[in-house]
């Protein structure tokens, strides 16, 4: 093993130069662990190619020797998808150096970027041309385009613009054997043959490495409306959601749910207090449009909500600063939770009309197996996507709580990962809960594209073949 | 061969009953030919299953005997994807009888339907709940949901809502070995594992048969604006498009290009005259919104267009009837063209900024090889998708014209099929013009999922393995 590692290091240095290969333990530390310090690995080395050709050569070198490759972008994932195992043999391929914004077309509304470009940087560049790249998430200052595509990232704008998949028009991918699939088309419509890029979006680097992409842009909005509303219960929140769709339609971009307990955590640990106090549940609603008439629609919605008893309190932001302050509450939830001792996190989705039932059943399950647990539930109600985070649970109970929540989700026809992906964190739960036909077809796809099993091994699909395959 | 056919007929009758298998030549005629009467096949029989289980059994029966299966929906395709070969051995599986609308969820904004449901029927059903299924195309009165998914259908609303792919949340698919992949989730967000449904969307029945789907709905719009505008040239049209995106943003749903020659055809052969005469190019623009302020934005746009010299004439519809009359002009183009003697059709897309260059180069090419040709160019300018139809070409020149247009498209980084798919019509052109890595990966995918090559053979990927594979 030692010898093979030395041979590989030598070859990789030949491809990207000595400076492009990190093999010192201290230098590699930031790459071997995720940002939350939950997943820990020990790579053989970290390779930093500067071109697609170098990525291809590095992949081919690893594949020839049968060594595992772990693609890594901004390392902001939440499921350990970019963290290597602890064998000391896997090679991290970092896209850090491939960060060019190759071309912005404000008329065709596309941008072509390399995988290592940081989301915020790309958003700023297209904003200069009056265009928006509509992916909005807390990690946008360090998340990279390649990683966002590989995980099909979500965020707070999905309600309006869809997941990252909906924005990918073209991809360049290095395949597990080192060949390059070049499909960097700036086309909104292309039905010529199988849409191969779909294979790689959301496959978390287990089928190939995204090296560049063409993304779809949208016009910047001119008017913005942001409101925080207290609701008496989840049913009322859902009625309000339905009405908001009717009143604001395509202008509605976020419909977030926050619990009163969550706002208390933010007040206690982050020193930010909400303009609304004492409610069990609050909504944070945002809409944007090129058309005037947005504010009027938002006021009509609020009026209806009060008249119908769907809202008990509410505030409509009067300035950008007020709107930003409301969003700061939402964005402080995760940090407040961490300061309060952390939580067992779930990233679930169910049909919107099943949210109430899911919360009731999951609550009953917790009362049974972890009666001391406290909840911090928030998320994207309009997408049926909740972060159902369970606090005050002992490490010993964590597995049971996790499985319990996933069982309830499955009964409500939901997903155990709405937007964070499986990574290494949820692979075994996926295998436990997924239909055998779907599992077998996923396995088949992995084995076809990654014949030698070198591409991000153990992520998305389990390493071992299953007995029935 | 005769014997194997008899055995298969016997088995298929055992699965769906005698009435569910058509084998009489006259009864099969409508299924063996496409609606334009361009592709002609001779099936062994037409099977009409009533349930997913029956589809699965029928597929398994064909696969066991190694006979080709041709899935067929409303038979409205434009590339021969649903027409069998002329061997007399292939089995058409028609989804006609599986047409239930299983469930409409107006709050979660989803609809679950069987593959044989007709688009217009589903649109009407969800409209009753104030929701819209945003797929709009000429054939919507007979096109079926399964076929729309299998071809990733486009249409006039793609600019705003994306292709059919963007609306598919869940799928049920019978695989080429008769197994059933069940993934009928009503979820907007689901990142748990590979998104296997993407494989089947747009694969034209060559990897499996879609039997049911969950589709995303959107709110109905409350306000509508429709305008027809004469522009001096394509550059002006593109500047107007850019400004329309800025003024109307998400409300802009169609931005269609029609040539003056096309409007003349419609006047001559359909007796419909346009409110604008004598222009080389016209635009048909449609926008819709839940918000007030739409008409104002549209008027601002028109005013700017006249001031900037991007428009030379224009009309903004004052009523639904006027708007429908403008659309009737657009929708008569194909029939008028047919009455004028037909055309060699192309369904191409290029980056919007390349449209001008493409038209110039394609015109030069035609002047060279078919100087007597006349053009009927129209399409979805906002998507870069043109139907570049060449009239008055002899049958002998058709192949050269076709290849010539495709060569020019390829030089402009475009696609030879923006929305109609490859079917059997464009398979050889795809093979000629596509990068070898993409071709090989497509082949690999086909061979992995359809091991015995029974699923819609010869569609999308060529039948014979290529030498280099």
Tens of pLDDT, residues B302-359: 999 999 999 999 999 999 999 999 999 999 999 999 999 999 999 999 999 999 999 9
- Burial of B388 by CB count in 10 Å (0-12 exposed, 13-18 middle, 19+ buried)? buried
Residue of B nearest to A352 (CA): B108
Q: Decide if B130 contacts B217 (C-beta within 8 A).
A: no
Distance from A414 to chain B by nearest Cα, in Å?
A: 7
CB-CB: which of B199, B238, B415 is closest to A187? B415
Query: Taking the mean position of all CA atoms in its chain, how far away is CA B137?
Result: 8
- Cα-trace Rg, chain B: 23
Chain A's closest residue to B444, CA to CA, is A448
Contact between chains at B187 and A350 (C-beta distance less than 8 A): yes
Nearest to B187 among A201, A296, A349 (CB): A349
Contact A115, A54 (CB under 8 A): no
Q: Is B298 on the interface with A (CB under 8 A)?
A: no
DSSP secondary structure letter of residue A176 = T
Rounded CA separation A418/B33 (Å): 43
Look at A442 and B196 and tell me if their CB atoms are within 8 Å. yes
- Residues A61-85: pLDDT tens digits? 999 999 999 999 999 999 999 999 9
Beta bridge partners of B415: B349
d(CA B374, CA A228): 60
Chain B residues whose beta carbon lies within 8 Å of the beta carbon of residue A221: 249
State how far the Cα of A198 lies from the Cα of A186, in Å rounded to an integer: 16
Q: Does B467 score more than 50 pLDDT?
A: no
CA dist., res. A428 & res. A431, Å (int): 5
Q: Do A165 and B195 touch (CB under 8 A)?
A: yes
Q: For residue A303, give the 3-state DSSP assignment.
A: helix
Token code pair at residue A35: 């940002």
Q: How many CA atoms lie within 13 A of B18 on its CB side?
A: 0
| Closest in A199, A349, A351 to B105, CB measured | A351
Contact A219 B441 (CB under 8 A): no
Q: What is the mean pLDDT of residues B450-460?
A: 97
pLDDT for A2 equals 56
Residue B466 has pLDDT above 90, yes or no: no
| Contact residues, chain A, for B352 at CB < 8 Å | 105, 107-108
Q: Which of residues 14-73 of A touch B (CB under 8 A)?
A: none
**Residues in Cβ contact with B230 at an 8 Å cutoff, skipping those fewer than 6 apart:** B276, B279, B281, B282, B311, B312, B313, B314
pLDDT at B469: 37
Sign of the alpha-carbon torsion through A80, A81, A86, A92 = negative
Contacts with A, B 157-186, CB within 8 Å: 158-160, 162-163, 165-166, 175, 179-183, 185-186
Residues B194 and B287: beta-carbon distance below 8 Å: no
Partner residue facing A108 (CB), from B187, B352, B419: B352
Q: Are the CB atoms for B152 and A191 separated by under 8 Å?
A: yes
How confident is the model over B241-250, as a mean pLDDT? 94
pLDDT in tens, chain A (469 residues): 458 999 999 999 999 999 999 999 999 999 999 988 999 999 999 999 999 999 999 999 999 999 999 999 999 999 999 999 999 999 999 999 999 999 999 999 999 999 999 999 999 999 999 999 999 998 999 999 999 999 999 999 999 999 999 999 999 999 999 999 999 999 999 999 999 999 999 999 999 999 999 999 999 999 999 999 999 999 999 999 999 999 999 899 999 999 999 999 999 999 999 999 899 999 999 999 999 999 999 999 999 999 999 999 999 999 999 999 999 999 999 999 999 999 999 999 999 999 999 999 999 999 999 999 999 999 999 999 999 999 999 988 999 999 999 999 999 999 999 999 999 999 999 999 999 999 999 999 999 999 999 999 999 999 865 444 3
Nearest to B238 among A107, A191, A351 (CB): A107
Chosen from B199, B223, B291, B388 to mutate, greatest number of chain A CBs within 10 A: B291
How far, in Å, are B237, B239, B243, B280 from residue B308 at the CA level? 12, 10, 11, 18
HEC string of chain B?
A: CHHHHHHHHHHHHHHHCHHHEECCHHHHHHHHECCCCCCECCCCEEECCCCHHHHHHHHHHHHHHCCCEEEECCCCCCCCCCCCCCCCCCEEEECCCCCCEEEEECCCCEEEEECCCEHHHHHHHHHCCCEECCCCCCCCCCCEHHHHHHCCCCCCCHHHHCCHHHHEEEEEEECCCCCEEEECCCCCCCCCCCCCHHHHCCCCCCCCEEEEEEEECEECCCEEEEEEEEECCHHHHHHHHHHHHHHHHHHEEEEEEEEHHHHHHHHHHHCCCCCCCCCCEEEEEEEEECCCCHHHHHHHHHHHHHHHCCCCEEEECCCHHHHHHHHHHHHCHHHHHHHCCCEECCEEECCHHHHHHHHHHHHHHHHHHCCCCEEEEEEEHHHCEEEEEEECCCHHHHHHHHHHHHHHHHHCCCECECCCCCCCCCHHHHHHHCCHHHHHHHHHHHHHHCCCCCECCCCCCCCCCCCCC
Average per-residue pLDDT for chain B: 95
Tokens 């289980």 belong to residue:
B53
The whole-angstrom separation of Cα B358 and Cα A340 is 61
Residue A56: φ, ψ to 5°: -60, -45
Task: Provide the pLDDT confidence category of residue B36 given band limits of 50, 70 and 90.
Answer: confident
The pLDDT assigned to B58 comes to 98
A190–B418 C-beta distance less than 8 A: yes
- Does the distance separating the beta carbons of A190 and B417 come in below 8 Å? yes
Name all domains of chain B by residue range, CATH numbers in brackets: 2-94 (3.30.43.10), 101-219 (3.30.465.10), 223-335 (3.30.70.2190), 342-411 (3.30.70.2740)
> What is the model's pLDDT at position A467?
41
pLDDT at position B434: 97
Rounded CA-CA distance A219/A290 in Å is: 8
Distances (CA, A) of A132 to A120, A164, A217, A240: 11, 13, 6, 28
Whether B246 has its CB under 8 Å from any CB of chain A: the answer is: yes
Q: What is the 3-state secondary structure (H, E, C) of B371-406?
A: CCCEEEEEEEHHHCEEEEEEECCCHHHHHHHHHHHH
CB-CB under 8 Å, A296 with B435: no
* Residue B468 reports pLDDT greater than 50: no
Nearest CA in chain A to B431: A193
Q: Which pLDDT score is estimated for A1?
A: 47
Cβ neighbours for A37, distance < 8 A, ≥ 6 positions apart: none
**Six token digits for residue B371:** 């100087």
| Helix, strand counts (H, E) of chain A | 16, 19
Q: Which candidate, A109, A43, A100, A104, places its Cα nearest to that of A71?
A: A43
Chain-centroid distance of CA A212 in Å reads 19
Mean pLDDT of B251-258: 96
Percent of chain B at pLDDT above 70?
Answer: 98
| pLDDT at res. B2 | 57
Q: Do A193 and B238 touch (CB under 8 A)?
A: no
Instruction: Give Cα separations from A281 to A229, A309, A387 (angstroms).
Output: 9, 14, 14
Per-residue pLDDT, B93: 98
Contact A187 B107 (CB under 8 A): no
- Quick one: closest CA in B to A427, which residue? B193
Angle at B78 between CA B74 and CA B84, to 5 degrees: 70
**CB proximity under 8 Å: B 301-320 to A:** none
Give the pLDDT score at B250.
87
Strand-pair category, B101-105 with A45-47? unpaired
The verdict on B189 touching A (C-beta cutoff 8 Å) is yes
| The residue to which tokens 């792919």 are assigned | B165
């Amino acid at each position: 093993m030692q010898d093979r590692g030395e041979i590989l290091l030598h070859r990789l240095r030949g491809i990207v130069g000595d400076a492009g290969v990190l093999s010192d333990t201290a230098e590699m530390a930031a790459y071997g662990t995720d940002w939350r310090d939950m997943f820990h690995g020990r790579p053989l080395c970290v390779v930093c190619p500067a071109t697609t050709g170098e990525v291809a050569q590095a992949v081919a070198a690893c594949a020839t020797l049968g060594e595992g490759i772990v693609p890594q972008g901004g390392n902001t994932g939440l499921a350990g998808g970019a963290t290597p195992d602890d064998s000391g043999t896997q090679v991290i391929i970092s896209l850090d150096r491939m960060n060019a914004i190759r071309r912005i077309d404000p008329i065709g509304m596309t941008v072509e970027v390399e995988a290592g470009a940081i989301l915020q940087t790309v958003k700023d560049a297209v904003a200069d041309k009056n265009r928006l790249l509509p992916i909005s998430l807390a990690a946008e200052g360090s998340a990279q385009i390649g990683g966002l595509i590989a995980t099909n990232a979500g965020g707070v704008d999905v309600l309006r613009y869809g997941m990252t998949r909906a924005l990918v028009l073209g991809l360049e991918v290095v395949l597990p054997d080192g060949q390059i699939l070049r499909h960097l088309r700036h086309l909104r419509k292309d039905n010529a043959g199988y849409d191969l890029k779909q294979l790689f979006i959301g496959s978390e680097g287990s089928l190939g490495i995204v090296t560049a992409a063409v993304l779809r842009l949208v016009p910047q909005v001119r008017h913005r409306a942001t409101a925080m509303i207290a609701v008496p219960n989840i049913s009322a929140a859902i009625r309000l959601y339905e009405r908001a769709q009717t009143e604001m339609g395509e202008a509605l971009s976020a419909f977030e749910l926050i619990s009163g307990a969550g706002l208390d955590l933010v007040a206690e640990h982050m020193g930010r207090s909400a303009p609304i106090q004492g409610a069990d549940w609050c909504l944070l609603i945002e809409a944007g449009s090129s058309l005037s008439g947005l504010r009027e629609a938002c006021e009509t919605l609020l009026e209806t909500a009060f008249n119908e008893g769907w809202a008990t309190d509410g505030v409509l932001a009067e300035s950008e600063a007020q709107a930003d302050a409301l969003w700061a509450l939402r964005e402080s939830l995760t940090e407040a939770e961490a300061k309060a001792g952390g939580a067992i996190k779930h990233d679930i989705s169910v049909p919107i009309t099943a949210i109430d039932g899911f919360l009731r059943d999951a609550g009953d399950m917790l009362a049974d197996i972890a009666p001391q647990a406290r909840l911090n539930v928030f998320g994207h109600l309009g997408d049926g996507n909740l972060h159902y985070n369970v606090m005050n649970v002992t490490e010993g109970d964590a597995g049971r709580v996790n499985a319990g929540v996933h069982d309830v989700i499955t009964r409500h026809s939901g997903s155990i990962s709405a937007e964070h992906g499986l990574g290494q964190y949820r692979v075994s739960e996926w295998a436990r809960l997924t239909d055998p036909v779907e599992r077998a077809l996923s396995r088949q796809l992995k084995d076809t594209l990654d014949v030698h099993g070198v591409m991000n091994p153990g992520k998305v699909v389990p390493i071992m073949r299953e007995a029935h395959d």
